[in-house]
Structure 1
Amino acid sequence: MNYNITATAGKETNGHIDIRETQIHFGTEAGSPQLANPAEVFLSAFAACMLKNVARFSDMMHFNYDQATVEVTATREEKPPRIEQLTYTLTLQSNDPKLNTDLLKKNLQKFGTIYNTVAKSCRVEGTVKLV
């Protein structure tokens, strides 16, 4: 499987990423502080991967949930500049007794494309909880 996107930014303008029929705007150094910066776009890809896999594993593991929310934070190292650690909290709204959060977490770690890519470059730690 291959992926393809196009990103564009001017020297003094904000950027945008074109993905199929979606356009995601991001801020540049000279751009708007209201827009996501590239690190936040990166964290968003991690979060989207997790949420997509929650939906996928709900079918495979035969559990129901009403909503899933993931909060992702990252620690940036200055020299060299890189993400050193990523931490997440995945919260599922569910009262399904078949939902095994430990197994779900293991599956997310084992089968998440973005998760595995990130985990090779920095520490990833997280929790899965029910509400």
Structure 2
Amino acid sequence: MTMTGPVDRPTTAYTVHASVTEAGAAVIEAGTQRIAFDASWGRPQPVALPGPADLLASALAACLLKNVERCSALLPFRYERADVVVTAHRQDRPPSFTRLWYELSLVTDESPRRIELLHENLRRYGTVYNTLAVVCELDGTVVAATEPSGH
């Protein structure tokens, strides 16, 4: 769905539906999928289901991987596999994320300069990336290998 934003630029809207029971079992409906998550308070860690912080880190991971795929078509950039690990650092007072860090691992035969170009594009064109970068420190690295590391 396209709408007009405050400065008359077209925007895209994303809508999800979420619900929770009194016991803290929750589900998000996004697209045609249901994502179960933990919305309970005070439950000892670790819990089986991801919580909101895990979902935020997951959104960044998904953004990075989606843009690797985007760049593979636009640049073009060849890769066999991409994996990313995202770590979110949270403080209690006031409650907020202070830092997000990622390590993107690629199996590719692209040159170091092309890998840096990919990384520049990930930072420049990632919607979730750019939104999070406004509110907390966001940084990461790209590690490339020509052979899979056994992930």
TM-score bracket, shorter-length normalisation: over 0.9
CA 1:97–1:103: 2 relative to 1, 3 Å: closer
What whole-Å deviation, never above 9, does each CA across 1:93-112 have from its counterpart, x for those lacking one?
A: 11234871211111111110
What residue identity is the alignment partner of 1:25?
A: A
Q: Tell me the TM-score normalised to structure 2 length.
A: 0.81
Q: Tell me the TM-score normalised to structure 1 length.
A: 0.93
Q: What is the root-mean-square deviation in Å for CA atoms of aligned residues?
A: 1.7
For 1:109 and 1:97, locate their aligned partners in 2 and report how far apart those are by CA, in whole Å.
19
For 1:101 and 1:57, locate their aligned partners in 2 and report how far apart those are by CA, in whole Å.
11
Where 1:44 maps in the other structure, the secondary structure is helix
What residue identity is the alignment partner of 1:21?
A: T
Greater Rg, structure 1 or structure 2? 2
Tell me how many residue pairs correspond in the alignment: 131
CA 1:111–1:95: 2 relative to 1, 3 Å: same
Where 1:47 maps in the other structure, the secondary structure is helix
For 1:18 and 1:110, locate their aligned partners in 2 and report how far apart those are by CA, in whole Å.
29
Equivalent residues of 1:71, 1:89 under 8 A apart = yes
1:41 to 55, 67, 71: 55
What residue identity is the alignment partner of 1:52?
A: K
Give me the identity figure in percent.
36
